[in-house]
Structure 1
């Protein structure tokens, strides 16, 4: 497998990456859901700000799982089978449940803090934020089964899980979490019955997650995964709330430009895909000894970087075309206008995320930490923040 990783040419990498990114077009469906339920976001000021927070927060656990599985499959420490797998595999799943609970708790604290300062929250809003975040994140655990199946299937068929898994997963995750979030908002605003349902869903994960801690108190892999992920959780919680605050700024534009609403989830997903491909392939190469742990070794990773970047530009063209068609606003001038905004967003966001992702991979590896506990979770959250800010800046400059 190591020889295959180093021998692929640019055309082969571009083709494989483009096919994986193609699933990112499904992010338009998440945008369609948001556009169809804009009314629910008018019920409280925090509803629009929490959307990128939850999309990004789910990237912590989904990204960690996809990164760890991809590397473990290459190293042979995990088998491509759900049953009769290694102890590492099942311990990883158990740590994922507790990390979901821990992430929810930290996200809630930061969201309440940002909400009080920037979103205009009142004390009456606090219970809604707690219930909706916990229930949405709990429902998101179902994505773990999809992640595992994609990783195993791609590995069995000879594809590189580092390239395939997260781009496909991120799109499915965006659509699924969007649907879960809208469902939780609907239940919360429905009244006492809906809120009781949210309490049951969140309460089950709280009890189950705490029980897993007692079960794995002396399990080194579990403790190491949790310990190394805590810093990531706090960092990501801070970053994603910046993205949520930025979306409030973008809201003034998207109310009169439905194509921006449609394309937003796909944009943040696509930039995250670029970072995940660059980061996941670099961590695997570091583990296999194909890259030296120095920033200068990025020269040996340029094929992966430029193939990932080029594929994202191609997808941005398709996203612009489809979003205008689906919103009924297509014209040559509107296409040129939207492409200008998206390309400027892409150049700024990808430039930053590539160097950031590679730097995190190198620093984590040098310090003896598992890069898979940091790279994808951190870069996906940075990608959401950077893309949101880049889009806002592009709209101000060109919009």
Structure 2
């Protein structure tokens, strides 16, 4: 009976129930405008070097680590392999936390190396910038690790209250994570560029503390099969993701050419990325869970049996995209008829491209990883989030080229 309760936990709702729950979760994305507000009004910091602005979409994309944590927690809570509590939990839970700490450092270093290559080719940076990029990336994401505690708490709380973590957790967490990472990145950049010698020393100390912690965890857990499997599978994903998110930085520089005088673009940009990731998360994570429970056949054709999740995610995203656009216009005092219509058209075109692209890709990734015996939670949300960042940036650039 307990097993049946877990299986039906949040998965037996009809379309209206899923739509309400999805819209409620997406509603938190409105707060993502604060991250864009920070960019728009700290442009003097973000544009100080060619790489500072280009690295931003890369950094908020690396909330994929939170995505991996969300996905693994959601399915494990449904299956009963993790309990909704911090203390007295299963070994699976604690090894997952260890893996997140290690993968955060690995991601920082991997993205820094690939960013140097892309930066040399497209951003106008040199080898002399590498030390600055590595230290800033590692320090920012090390500070971001504290956010994992909030991720875990939200997952536990939503499950305990009868909500579906697959639908609720990531949309809430991705928005909050974007704000938190933006604050961390802005603080680190200010320390690096405008502080005294002690500011840069603080950045170095944060990075070194993370390295020491990772070395300790690896020494302790290197013979733990579950830990090592998560690391091995995720490393493959991280290389792919690092390339994808670095491409996004190059696209964002293209968007920057249009957005210099339009702060509403900067303000809405992080929120749009969050929304795209949220759509992919709801579709992909619910597909993961239903595949794991045997309620969905592992083939792309079975997407037709997943329509209530897809339609609820798409319709909810349209409502929130429109709300985000209107709020961004109000913040920037854009009230002319032509200005409002133009911006709404840009956002609606972006929304259509984003939803179609991310739904198809997220579902296909879930099916492919499941069929190959890999843990979908290590791939679907992380890769989907990275693809969401690229698709969002490309869609916005296309819309700006057409209407901007």
Distance across 1 between alignment mates of 2:60 and 2:209: 21
Q: Which of 290, 293, 309 is equivalent to 2:295?
A: 290
Structural RMSD (CA): 1.0
Partner of 1:158: 162
Contact 1:316 1:343 in 2 (8 A): yes
Partner of 1:369: 374
Q: Please report how far the alpha carbon of residue 368 of structure 1 lies from its aligned counterpart in structure 2 after TM superposition.
A: 0.7
Residue by residue, what CA displacement relative to the aligned partner does 1:29-66 show, whole Å, maximum 9, x if unpaired? 0011111101112311101000001111222x101100
Partner of 1:37: 42
Contact 2:9 2:164 in 1 (8 A): no
Distance across 2 between alignment mates of 1:117 and 1:371: 34
Q: Which of 195, 199, 204 is equivalent to 1:199?
A: 204
Q: Please report how far the alpha carbon of residue 191 of structure 1 lies from its aligned counterpart in structure 2 after TM superposition.
A: 4.0
Distance across 2 between alignment mates of 1:194 and 1:96: 27
Q: Which of 380, 389, 394 is equivalent to 2:399?
A: 394
Q: Please report how far the alpha carbon of residue 327 of structure 1 lies from its aligned counterpart in structure 2 after TM superposition.
A: 1.0
Q: Which sits farther off after the overlay, 323-332 or 24-33? A: 323-332
Distance across 1 between alignment mates of 2:239 and 2:321: 31
Partner of 1:89: 93
Q: Please report how far the alpha carbon of residue 116 of structure 1 lies from its aligned counterpart in structure 2 after TM superposition.
A: 0.7
Q: Please report how far the alpha carbon of residue 195 of structure 1 lies from its aligned counterpart in structure 2 after TM superposition.
A: 1.1
Contact 2:287 2:306 in 1 (8 A): yes
TM-score where L is the length of structure 1: 0.98
Distance across 1 between alignment mates of 2:352 and 2:380: 21
Q: How does 1:195-234 map to 2 (within 5 A)?
A: 195-234=200-239
The SS at the match of 1:256 is: coil
TM-score where L is the length of structure 2: 0.97
Q: Which of 11, 15, 19 is equivalent to 1:14?
A: 19
Distance across 2 between alignment mates of 1:76 and 1:233: 28
Q: Please report how far the alpha carbon of residue 192 of structure 1 lies from its aligned counterpart in structure 2 after TM superposition.
A: 2.2
Structure 1 unaligned residues grouped into runs of 5+? none
Contact 1:57 1:107 in 2 (8 A): no
Contact 2:108 2:141 in 1 (8 A): yes
Q: Please report how far the alpha carbon of residue 337 of structure 1 lies from its aligned counterpart in structure 2 after TM superposition.
A: 1.1
Length, aligned pairs only: 398
Residue by residue, what CA displacement relative to the aligned partner does 1:3-54 show, whole Å, maximum 9, x if unpaired? 3544321111111000000001111000111111011123111010000011
Distance across 2 between alignment mates of 1:88 and 1:6: 23
Runs of 4+ displaced beyond 4 Å: none
Residue by residue, what CA displacement relative to the aligned partner does 1:73-116 show, whole Å, maximum 9, x if unpaired? 00000000001101110010011110011111101110111111
Partner of 1:264: 269
Distance across 2 between alignment mates of 1:3 and 1:156: 14
Structure 2 unaligned residues grouped into runs of 5+? 1-5
Partner of 2:362: 357
Q: Please report how far the alpha carbon of residue 122 of structure 1 lies from its aligned counterpart in structure 2 after TM superposition.
A: 2.1
Partner of 2:347: 342
Partner of 1:177: 181
